[in-house]
Structure 1
Amino acid sequence: MTLRVARWPGSSKPAPILLFNGIGGNFELLTPFVAALGDVEVISFDMPGIGGSTLPPYPYRMRHVARLAVHVLRRMGHERADVIGISWGGALAQQFAHTAPSRCRRLVLCATMAGSPAAWPASPSVFLKLLSPRRYLRPGYMEKYAGQLYGGRFRWDKELARDYASRIKKPSRAGYLLQLNAITGWTSALWVWRLRQPTLVIAGADDPICPPINGHILAKLIPNSRLEVLDEGHLFVISQPQITANLVRNFLEGDHVREPAEAAHRPWHEAMHADGA
């Protein structure tokens, strides 16, 4: 298997950024966000069968990709990183922080969820569209349904949708299905409350794919975390790259470390009922 890796040069102090994209997305889609991050080293890669990466010899699960990401990070000469995950990549970011905690300095979770049973899903019409890579394979389809899928500025800004579609490198159908398979049945609800990394959770108020309640759930479950809700949709890293990047850089460069909350020692269902929640 050949993995296509991107490395944007910049400062790696105190750590580089390891960036995980959403399902079916090649790393070029995140170029505006990476540019807005400024002088920081960013590492990303196309998932197996997506963008310029070839198909793997066998199906995989999220824990396998987390281990693959550790390998990529070390091949790039780093032992740890600040990890940012978007949507599907947010699930992978949680898995990475759990599988290799010493390699994750800080964690940023964008437009993502913990998984069943601690998650609020998309509507059936949106969910059905996510089961197919059609939006990546047909530019016209992306432009037509971007607002319904992504919400926020994509609802009215057709030029934004066209620009986003122009940077798509068509994924293979098999690669997309393998990503679906990897996350099917996955959940962090059983262990996310054990994470110790300082964590920033960012949600979009108008997110059809990952309703903002999921951000509140994650921030409640992860002990050393805080939540930001933007007046945007699912792809706020694309529609508001500078605002998102400013939040991320301030978090990564600031002093946000505190003692783990009491909820860190309790399972998710108890944490959700703590303090009158």
Structure 2
Amino acid sequence: MEAVRVGDIDVCFEVHGSGPHVLLISGTGGDLRVDANRSAHPLTDGHEVLMYDQRGLGRTSKPDEPYTMEQYADDAAGLMRELGWARAHVVGISFGGMVAQHLALRHPGLVDRLVLCCTSSGGAGGSSFDLLSLADRPRAERAELLLPVMDTRNDLSTDPPTLAPLFDRLAPFMAAPPLNADDPASELGARRQLEARADHDVYDRLGEITMPTLVAGGLHDGQAPPENVERLAAALPDATLRFFEGGHMFLLQDRSAWPAIVDFLAP
């Protein structure tokens, strides 16, 4: 794991694979250290993939000030430029999809093809579930409330609870303390991300995002529900819409999802 100065922060990043450049932008609370198999990511077979910890998260700087979606987009653009990447395909997941929308608007020359997964445009296109509203709840309670949001098939009222595929393993992880749980700066950075996320709204500007875009959603996603995903795709000039079997974690629940993304990125 390396770090480079980007504007006012040090950004922690990794590059894996070889081939056409792909910038992968992670979701809420993303931390590179959580995934032990980063070098085996599905995108690294045939692509050189840039992954990084966003502002306030992981091992990237966590300045004690409000963050904006524009800053997140500029961080991504600055990282690409620092590494000498003139252009790249961009894949944004959940919050990362929101950042990717701002990146495509603010720095369109950097983006070849765009993939927006399980995400929303905000505004009239609909907002993703308000995670900030749960930020002050105990982690175990927050995880319990989020289970039916992450996948609408999850039902804790049954005995035993009804869990969608993957969530038998994911539920304990959601309730466990995060990395750096004892670090006040990490807690602050995570909250700053949620505050910036709450202000995300680019719906009225989606017509300016003209590069080919794959908009992908989960059929059972309650966080970025299918109607949001449909409105996002409908407002983009050159969008392909795909739904997959799963909820907010459809990329892990449906084995056809990543191959479909790889196919979309193929020249």
Common topology (TM > 0.5):
yes
Structure with the larger strand share: 2
1:108 is displaced (CA, Å) by 0.2
Q: Which residue of 2 aligns with 1:261?
A: none
TM norm structure 1:
0.77
Q: Is 1:5 aligned with 2:13?
A: yes
Q: Which residue of 1 aligns with 2:25?
A: 20
Who is 1:112 aligned against? 119
Q: Which amino acid aligns with 1:169?
A: L
Report what 1:275 is aligned to. none
In 1, are the aligned partners of 2:131 and 2:194 still within 8 Å (CA)?
no
**Residue type of the partner of 2:12?**
R
2:29 corresponds to which letter in structure 1? G
Question: RMSD between aligned alpha carbons?
Answer: 2.8
Q: CA deviation at 1:228?
A: 0.3
Q: In structure 2, what is the Cα distance between the partners aligned to 1:152 and 1:32?
A: 28
Look up the match of 1:212.
226
State whether structure 2 residue 259 is matched by structure 1 residue 246.
yes
Does 217-226 or 58-67 show the bigger shift?
Answer: 58-67
Kindly state the Cα deviation for residue 118 of structure 1 after the two structures are TM-superposed: 1.8
- Aligned-residue identity in percent: 30
Residue-pair matches, total: 243
Amino acid across the alignment from 1:26: D
What secondary structure does 1:59 align onto?
coil
1:60 and 1:178 in contact (8 A); partners too: yes
Corresponding residue for residue 132 of structure 1: 135
What is the 5 A alignment of 1:191-270?
191-240=205-254, 242-254=255-267
Q: 1:26·1:168 contact (CA, 8 Å) conserved in 2?
A: no
Unpaired runs of 5+ in structure 2?
Answer: 1-8, 155-162
With the length of structure 2 as denominator, give the TM-score of the two structures.
0.80
Give the letter aligned to residue 252 of structure 1.
Answer: L
Q: Secondary structure at the match of 1:202?
A: strand
User: CA distance change for structure 1 residues 25 and 99 in 2, over 3 Å: closer, same or farther?
Assistant: same
User: Relative to 1, partners in 2 of residues 1:174 and 1:166: Cα closer, same or farther, differing over 3 Å?
Assistant: closer
Residue type at the aligned position of 1:204: G
Higher normalized helix content (fraction of residues)? 1
Change in CA separation of 1:199 and 1:29 when aligned onto 2, cut-off 3 Å = farther
Asked whether 1:183 is paired with 2:197, we answer yes
